[in-house]
Structure 1
Amino acid sequence: MDCTCSQDDSLDGLAEFAGKGEEVRRITSMAMNGEMGLEEALVKRLQIINPTPQMIKEFLAAHPPESRLTPGIKDLVSNLQKRGISVYIISGGFRPLALPFAKLLNIPPENVYANRIYFTTDDETGMPTVYAGYDTDQPTAKQGGKPEAIKALRSKHPLEDVVMIGDGITDLEAARMPGGADLFIGYGGVVERQEIRESADYYITDFSVLTKTLANHQVAFVGSGAWACSAANLVARNCKIREDFEKDVRMWVYEEEVDGRMLTEIINQDHENIKYLPGIKLEENVVAYPNLDDVISEADIIVFCVPHQFVHSICKQMVGKVRQDAVAISLTKGMRLRSDGAQLISDMVRRKLGIDCSVLMGANIAEEIGKGELSEATIGYKWPENARLFQEMFQSDSFLVETVQDVEGAELCGTLKNVVALAAGFVKGLGYGSNTKAAIMRAGMAEMRKLAKRLYFTVQDETFFMSCGLADLIATCEGGRNQRVAGAFAELSGQKTLGMLEEEMLKGQKLQGELTSNEVQAVLRAKGWELDFPLFTTVNRIIHGQLPVEFITQYQRISEVEAVEPSSDAVESAIEDAFTALKV
């Protein structure tokens, strides 16, 4: 830390403050040049200074960290942290002198490895005012201690690379000894040491050199529907003002002709997706591409926002074409059926592409978000650094983002609520009031939680009360497309299928509820759980003509009723295909 984060050696500065500067500086120089062991140097310097808590307090007041901070270090640390990179201080100095710098650099105290100094109480005052040595058990108090501290870091972050930046021999040792850092960057902006210059992997005298070489994040959106466009707008606004992001947000568009023009041309020239999100202007830095490879090849952040039935085929196209250091986040709600059961979209992305995939779920009706109305979302994550990155990427004054370390819970909330929305639409279309709709929504939430916990024992109860759970359920059952189409289905007493109504009402957008219901029902049937989830089972039988829509309010009697034959072989084939997939 000293002569790297600070423009001086803190212990030397304390010695100068105590009138012992020249003698202590000589010992410090011998230690940094390898002419004296670290432990011997520490003992001698402290004996000469004979510090007290009051002395340290007065020294920091007279020479605050703000006035001693190395030029450029704050920008470098801030840019690293914005990229989700953890920053630590490993110092052969002492915590009381290091912690003020850590606070200034937004480095948490638990990320500071430094020595602890001991004081005993004064006989007259009873206050700890007499220097009594230091904790020799700390790894940084010993020769070769910095590599030991790095070993401790590796136990917390086993898959991460460790880069050491420093000015002295002990910093160089941290990268040369077994278990130490993977890379050593020598810093000579305060003190130049010939051996450091010659031995470092890289050598700098100005931290801005490192800051400028940090690659900015490139965001790619896979999908261009209403929700994708609203979400891309949120990200694009943040990319404009953040130095660690490329300004352009690349969006893959399934090319089609609209009113005699190609959709990508309309988006890039008119900054509006007139087919899927009409009336909402897109930010000028949302750039549409018809070729998927052009969007993903340079991206280190990939956002999936397409109907869930297309994700598998899209991932197959992306295999071998994404960066190994890329991370993904899925805004897609749904699941895929495999021979071993249901697979969530995040897991599919993770397995197919070999990259981490978080999820963003919530009460996210695209048009309302596009208009800037207050909305919320939940990020389900496995790695905290990715959660922080995504939260900063989407968050705005009108779009509030919370996080939970529960990918499966958050994603299942976003998936299963579409089935409940069909039920809510049925009761609305039948003319029932708020009581009935509330009863259906409560039962739906209970079945969502029950199924999620059966499929994944790690699912947390709190997730269901976040935006991805209760809030999303309310929004979808009140104003989502599944509820609207299901309402029309009920009003027509099932004379038109949901597929017909989807084509008539949604103008090219996809109705996820019916497909999700088929997938859920295939899982329930395969596991023998159909009667354990009466609402889900009733909804599926209604949409396939096996029960009248009016039975939705009698769902608890499903075990008493024998389903009639479906009105056509075609509607039954959907669930049969899904069920067959589980048995293959």
Structure 2
Amino acid sequence: MKKVAVLGAGSWGTALSIVLADNSNEVRLWSHRQDQVNTINETHKNEKYLDVMLPEHIQAFYNLEEAINDVDAIIIVVPTKAIRDVCRQLNEIRKDDVTIIHAAKGIEPVTLKRVSQLISEELDGYKAEDIVVLSGPSHAEEVALRQPTTVTVSSMNIKNADFAQDLFINESFRVYTSPDILGIELGGALKNIIALGAGISDGLGYGDNAKAALITRGLAEIARLGTSLGANPLSFLGLPGVGDLIVTCTSEHSRNWRAGNLLGKGYKLDDVLEQMGMVVEGVRTVKAAHQFAADQDVEMPITTGIHQILFDELEPKEVVEQLMNRNKREEMDDLAQLLTERYSQ
């Protein structure tokens, strides 16, 4: 049995805590809210996020130092915007080197840093290549119900990736490994942009044809940017790529899809975020990806269009018209070409 601290008591942190507890680990679920900690410990529920009973192996903590004391691993599941602050707190109280695993999906605007890079910058003694990322098509609501789910853990440190695989894998939560942490993190973050677009499409009343095109062309954009930064194009055809893209674009469980759906129905961004009441990672990621595309000179028309909707207040239908009236081109100039170029050399 391992002692594991899960930092972040939202829906995903709670769901991962359930997986870890099912594997007979001692789980310490940390929250920055004392009332939430009290409720979890008194009722074994976290109803704001998941309507399930929590295993007895899960204990909630408000004191971060107590939560991480003598643990074998720390799982960071806070929103991307909180990563630096939480890691700075860890730096002041951490006594032992432990395996760091994160399950956040985002890119920091302005710096354009991935989560593993943020962690390594803030945690003394931790290199980005030693951090493990967990990603894949995994709605927290389904994981909490022990419905079959498959994810990928990735690190350049194979020993750490194997440790994370063993920590999480069970009969309902299958875990693969990958060395391409760059591709895994980018796929998990960038798919949220396309999920916003899928929600906008549904909010406008468009059908399956439009959504299928959006997902397919969105995947091409993700791969185009990812490979320009050095990721393996095959990663975008795997679970944290096309797998996560499909599940996030087609389900009402997805908060990015729900936010996009409200935008498509005419709500303004501030009103949408207020209604959601939870972090919508895709909004921040749109800013980062838009800057990435400019810096890398990579064409990302869907991302550009969603950026215009979010921050230039362009009407969604105008963006659709722009996308549909772009210059003619061949389809096989994107992901297929990237794969061909990589493996024909």
**TM-score normalised over the length of structure 2:** 0.88
Alignment CA distance shift 1:558-1:305 (3 Å): farther
Amino acid in structure 1 at the alignment position of 2:114: L
Q: Is the 8 A contact 1:426 1:489 kept in 2?
A: yes
1:275 shift after superposition: 1.5
1:551 shift after superposition: 3.1
Q: Is the 8 A contact 2:228 2:296 kept in 1?
A: no
CA distance in 2, matches of 1:250, 1:397: 22
Alignment CA distance shift 1:538-1:454 (3 Å): same
Amino acid in structure 2 at the alignment position of 1:529: D
1:469 matched to 2:241: yes
* Partner of residue 266 from structure 1, selected from 21, 39, 42: 39
Q: Any idea what the Cα deviations from partners look like across 1:448-470, whole Å, max 9, x if unmatched?
A: 11111122x1x112211221111
Q: Is the 8 A contact 1:298 1:322 kept in 2?
A: no
Q: Is the 8 A contact 1:498 1:514 kept in 2?
A: no
1:301 shift after superposition: 0.6
1:429 matched to 2:203: yes
1:390 matched to 2:168: no
Q: Is the 8 A contact 1:534 1:555 kept in 2?
A: no
In the alignment, which residue of structure 1 is the partner of 2:336? none
Q: Is the 8 A contact 1:300 1:323 kept in 2?
A: no
Amino acid in structure 1 at the alignment position of 2:198: A
* Partner of residue 183 from structure 2, selected from 409, 433, 449: 409
Alignment CA distance shift 1:528-1:333 (3 Å): closer
How many residues align? The count is 321
Q: Is the 8 A contact 2:192 2:285 kept in 1?
A: yes
Matched residue SS, 2:94: coil
CA distance in 1, matches of 2:322, 2:82: 32
1:233 shift after superposition: 0.5
Q: Is the 8 A contact 2:109 2:285 kept in 1?
A: no
Q: Is the 8 A contact 2:290 2:304 kept in 1?
A: yes
Q: Computing the radius of gyration over CA atoms, which structure comes out larger, 1 or 2?
A: 1
CA distance in 1, matches of 2:39, 2:106: 29
Moved over 3 A (4+): 554-560
In the alignment, which residue of structure 1 is the partner of 2:341? none
Q: Any idea what the Cα deviations from partners look like across 1:177-208, whole Å, max 9, x if unmatched?
A: xxxxxxxxxxxxxxxxxxxxxxxxxxxxxxxx
In the alignment, which residue of structure 1 is the partner of 2:282? 513
1:497 matched to 2:253: no
* Partner of residue 137 from structure 2, selected from 358, 363, 368: 363
CA distance in 2, matches of 1:470, 1:483: 16
* Partner of residue 542 from structure 1, selected from 290, 309, 312: 309
Alignment CA distance shift 1:529-1:554 (3 Å): farther
Amino acid in structure 1 at the alignment position of 2:292: V
Matched residue SS, 2:170: coil
Amino acid in structure 2 at the alignment position of 1:225: G
In the alignment, which residue of structure 2 is the partner of 1:283? 55
CA distance in 2, matches of 1:488, 1:280: 27
1:299 shift after superposition: 2.1
Q: Is the 8 A contact 1:534 1:558 kept in 2?
A: no
Amino acid in structure 2 at the alignment position of 1:540: H
1:251 shift after superposition: 1.3
Matched residue SS, 1:333: coil
CA distance in 2, matches of 1:407, 1:503: 33
1:344 matched to 2:117: no
Taking CA–CA contacts closer than 8 Å with sequence separation of 6 or more, which of the two structures ends up with the larger relative contact order? 2
Amino acid in structure 2 at the alignment position of 1:234: V
Q: Is the 8 A contact 2:2 2:72 kept in 1?
A: yes
Q: Is the 8 A contact 2:6 2:30 kept in 1?
A: yes
Alignment CA distance shift 1:441-1:555 (3 Å): farther
Q: Is the 8 A contact 1:299 1:322 kept in 2?
A: no
In the alignment, which residue of structure 2 is the partner of 1:220? 5
CA distance in 1, matches of 2:10, 2:302: 30
CA distance in 2, matches of 1:430, 1:529: 30
In the alignment, which residue of structure 1 is the partner of 2:297? 529
Any gaps of 5 or more consecutive residues in structure 2?
328-345
1:544 shift after superposition: 2.1
1:403 shift after superposition: 0.9
**Structural RMSD (CA):** 1.9
Matched residue SS, 1:519: helix
Matched residue SS, 1:319: helix
Matched residue SS, 2:47: coil
In the alignment, which residue of structure 1 is the partner of 2:258? 484
Any gaps of 5 or more consecutive residues in structure 1?
1-215, 241-246, 257-261, 561-584
In the alignment, which residue of structure 2 is the partner of 1:332? 104
Q: Any idea what the Cα deviations from partners look like across 1:520-561, whole Å, max 9, x if unmatched?
A: 223334x2737x11111111101124421013433547889x
In the alignment, which residue of structure 1 is the partner of 2:28? 250
Amino acid in structure 2 at the alignment position of 1:284: E
Alignment CA distance shift 1:558-1:513 (3 Å): farther
Amino acid in structure 2 at the alignment position of 1:351: E
Q: Is the 8 A contact 2:109 2:284 kept in 1?
A: no
CA distance in 2, matches of 1:463, 1:524: 19
Q: Any idea what the Cα deviations from partners look like across 1:100-141, whole Å, max 9, x if unmatched?
A: xxxxxxxxxxxxxxxxxxxxxxxxxxxxxxxxxxxxxxxxxx
1:330 shift after superposition: 0.8
Alignment CA distance shift 1:518-1:350 (3 Å): same
1:234 matched to 2:4: no
In the alignment, which residue of structure 2 is the partner of 1:450? 224
Amino acid in structure 2 at the alignment position of 1:230: A
Matched residue SS, 1:379: strand
Q: Is the 8 A contact 1:297 1:321 kept in 2?
A: no
